């Protein structure tokens, strides 16, 4: 007896569901802290895609004349991030060939910083004008952001978006509603860009970043004073940094609890060498 069209459709649905399940099971990795990560997108692919997004973003800053070229600010940012990168490369040798760079954005209204996959960073001047950061506090921020890249959180976030799209695809096949499938696929890319890091990823970046900043020669106590300054910002207009970095009330407390152990990594706060970091101008 020849199979019917319904049999063909059922077979396609079954194979689609098996494919989705296989991809989800295969896409597993382990973070630097030993946490299981969903990794459907390779870190290498995330770096390639991040590079294109970074060039577009920096190009817009340049067109708007928002790239800071002040020698004192450039030197400060390059020196602090350079010391952090020295330790990042030592602890994570795979980051040696990353295109480490920083765009300093002239925007006193924005309290934010970020680091894409591959070591491409941005710092907004609102961090300095509004928070009056010390060098140690700024090192804590950049150590945290660099840690997101080292732990491949961009690839993980993109993988979560892809998993969501695959789930919608499977649901569309199972329910014979292709419109759902198309909608899910269209949303996946947007989700990858807009999806914030999870609380777990944030805690991981806190942990790695505190270690990184301490090894680079910066005072670990600054992690506590930094978050005290963040918390003191106007509640009606929280910093952009907090909108994309979920911060539970006990964050400063958790960081403070880590300090005694971390301090022993560099008790004399000996400054690391400065790794070359390109300041985008």
261 noted as active-site residue: no
> How far apart (Å, rounded) are the C-alpha atoms in residues 106 and 84?
23
Distances (CA, A) of 198 to 72, 111, 118, 120, 237: 35, 20, 20, 21, 22
From the CB of residue 51, how many other CB atoms can be counted at a distance below 10 Å?
Answer: 15
Token digits for 50? 């991040």
* Nearest Cα to Cα of residue 81 among 253, 280, 278, 281: 278
> How far apart (Å, rounded) are the C-alpha atoms in residues 245 and 52?
23
Sheet strands side by side (includes 101-105): 113-115, 120-124, 101-105, 278-280
Q: Which of 60, 64, 87, 145 is the catalytic position?
A: 145
Active site residues: 145
């Amino acid at each position: 007896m020849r199979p019917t069209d319904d049999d063909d459709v059922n077979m396609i649905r079954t194979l689609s569901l098996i494919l989705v399940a296989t991809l989800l099971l295969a896409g597993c990795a382990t973070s630097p802290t030993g946490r299981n990560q969903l990794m459907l997108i390779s870190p290498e692919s995330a770096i390639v895609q991040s590079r294109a997004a970074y060039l577009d973003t920096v190009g817009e800053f340049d067109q708007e004349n928002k790239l800071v070229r002040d020698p004192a600010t450039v030197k400060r940012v390059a020196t602090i991030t350079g010391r952090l990168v020295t330790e990042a490369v030592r602890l994570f040798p795979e980051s040696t060939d990353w295109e480490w760079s920083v765009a300093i954005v002239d925007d006193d209204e924005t309290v934010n910083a970020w680091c894409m996959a591959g070591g491409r960073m941005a710092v907004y001047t609102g961090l300095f004008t509004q928070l009056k950061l010390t060098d140690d506090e700024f090192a804590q921020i950049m150590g945290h952001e660099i840690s997101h890249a080292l732990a491949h959180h961009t690839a993980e976030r993109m993988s979560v978006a892809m998993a969501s799209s695959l789930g919608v695809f499977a649901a569309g096949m199972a329910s014979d509603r292709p419109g759902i499938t198309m909608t899910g696929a269209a949303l996946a890319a947007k989700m990858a860009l807009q999806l914030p890091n999870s609380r777990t990823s944030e805690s991981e970046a806190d942990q790695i970043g505190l270690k990184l900043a301490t090894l680079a020669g910066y005072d670990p106590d600054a992690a506590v004073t930094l978050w005290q300054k963040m918390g003191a910002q106007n509640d009606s207009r929280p910093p952009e940094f907090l909108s994309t970095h979920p911060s539970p009330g006990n964050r400063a407390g958790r960081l403070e609890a880590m300090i005694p152990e971390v301090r022993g990594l560099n008790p004399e706060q000996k400054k690391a060498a400065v790794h070359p970091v390109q300041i985008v101008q």
